[in-house]
Structure 1
Amino acid sequence: MEALIAYVRSGQPDLTNRQMALMLLVYLTPGPHTVRGLAATLDVSKPVITRALNTLGALGYLRRIRDEADRRNVFVAKTRTGQDFLESFEGNIAHSPADGRSKDDRRLLFQNG
């Protein structure tokens, strides 16, 4: 919770779960990454990936590269801006204080909602 609050307060653009999943797939798994492959991994359609890439590309977090050998393929590549974003997000997680609650306190929190 503290990490997400820090993220919201940071002023960085809000990413959807799909956009964040796409970012993490590209940055944390070996490439090359294609639109088709990413869609298959996330079990979504290619247009879903394209929409997410439009947003992430506009933010400078990912970029598309046309496959010169097969112009139908589009590779998805990392950017320095995207790397900086994820490092900042990781910093929010790393610097979040432990909540100090016991298991019983957490159970009560979720029961009383």
Structure 2
Amino acid sequence: MSVTLRPTQALRLWQQVALSEVEAGRPDLSMRQMAILLTVYLDPPPHTVRGLAARLGVTKPVITRALDTMGAMKLLTRRRDETDRRNVLVGRTVEGALYVERFGDVIIAAARELPL
């Protein structure tokens, strides 16, 4: 499936999704937090703090701070890798999976409302 949007349409879609999330009182995730969340849920595991830092081009402490926030929201989990204790594995949760799926639904609904 291919979707063609003009830049203003793409921005309008992004605006509608953001407004929908704010109006619904959903958790405020930064762009970085959303990038981490979507990477963990859309890319095949395993995911590590080190790997996420490399993927996003940031430091491990930056990832750790984002994971602290998302862990408190129960969107992701962290645990030591038992086979290599230097690694911290980042895992999915039921709450996080539901959040990502619902977010996808919001994007689809907003896209359907775009003027042609």
Q: TM-score, structure 2 length as denominator?
A: 0.82
State the Cα distance separating 1:98 from its structure 2 match.
3.0
Amino acid corresponding to residue 20 of structure 2 in structure 1: A
Runs (4+) of structure 1 exceeding 4 A deviation are: none
Q: Deviations over 1:31-54 (max 9, x none)?
A: 100100100000000000000000
Structure 2: distance between partners of 1:100 and 1:67: 48
Q: Given residue 81 of structure 1, which amino acid in structure 2 is its aligned partner?
A: E
Distance in 2 (alpha carbons) for counterparts of 1:77 and 1:68: 14
Map of 2:80 onto structure 1? 66
- Please, which of 97, 101, 104 is the counterpart of residue 87 of structure 1? 101
1:73, 1:2 → 2: CA distance? 38
TM-score normalised according to structure 1 size: 0.84
Q: Secondary structure at the match of 2:54?
A: helix
Listed as ranges, the gaps of 5+ residues in structure 1 are 102-113
SS of 1:57 mapped into structure 2:
helix
Deviation, structure 1 residue 70? 1.7
* C-alpha distance in structure 2 between counterparts of 1:37 and 1:91, whole Å: 28
Identity across the alignment (%): 51
Partner Cα distance (1:24, 1:73) in 2 = 20
- Tell me the number of residue pairs that the alignment of Structure 1 and Structure 2 aligns: 101
Matched residue, 1:40: 54
71, 89, 98: which one pairs with 2:113? 98
| Matched residue, 2:31 | 17
Structure-to-structure mapping, 1:42-57, within 5 angstroms: 42-57=56-71
Structure 2: 5+ residue stretches without partners: 1-14
